[in-house]
Amino acid sequence: MAAAMATNADLLTLTTTIQDALRAEMAGIHTEVATHTGRIQALEHSSETQSARHTATDNAIARQGELILHMRRHLEDLDNRGLRCNIRLRGIQEAERGENAEEVLRGLFRLVLQADAPQKIEFERAHRALRPRSLEDGPRDMICCLHSFPVKDAIMRSSLHGPSRELKCPSTMIYPGDARASRT
């Protein structure tokens, strides 16, 4: 017998079934694509954020070298500024009782500078060398940091030209406070 031919209704039902199956599959695919699109966008955003953080970190690390160099130079400058106004005096006899180091040094510097002495000689600090007093070693050095470099410079120039010979203590020697030889 001959096979029965499909009718329009059968073809319509079959087409509808295929269309429904395709729609269901397409809806599933659309859902998966939407899910993957969301994930991809989240990953792209995360990647951009990480890239920006990485760039910022690289820039900060590169800048740290410059900052450390700048800080080192600043510290050297501060150290040099602190030392450039220092004067070390050797051979000034120590008083039996406490002495006012600033007054002793102020009087000595006025003798050294003579007519060139400023009205007021200001000190940042003035003290004896920080070691115990000893009768065998002689007097401890006096160290001062003058407030003004030009005053220190004038004292050093005047002391080189000989007025220190006229001092009460002819054995007194004046050194720049940053001289390594004066620290022994």
SS3 state of residue 151: helix
Tokens encoding 94:
């120590």
Kindly provide the residue ranges of all beta strands, DSSP E only, lying in the chain, ordered along the sequence.
86-90, 123-128, 142-146, 173-176
For 88, list phi and psi in degrees, rounded to 5.
-115, 130
Architecture of the domain whose range is 85-183: 2-Layer Sandwich (3.30)
Residue 123 near residue 108, CB atoms below 8 Å: no
User: Under a CB-based contact definition with an 8 Å cutoff, are residues 148 and 92 in contact?
Assistant: no
What tokens appear for 34 in the block?
Answer: 């939407």
pLDDT in tens, the chain (184 residues): 456 787 888 889 999 999 999 999 999 999 999 999 989 999 999 999 999 999 999 999 999 999 999 999 999 888 777 778 898 988 888 876 778 889 989 888 888 888 777 888 899 889 988 888 777 778 888 899 998 888 888 888 887 765 444 455 567 888 887 644 444 4
- Between helices 101-113 and 149-160, what is the axis angle to 10°? 60
Domain residue spans of the chain: 40-84, 85-183
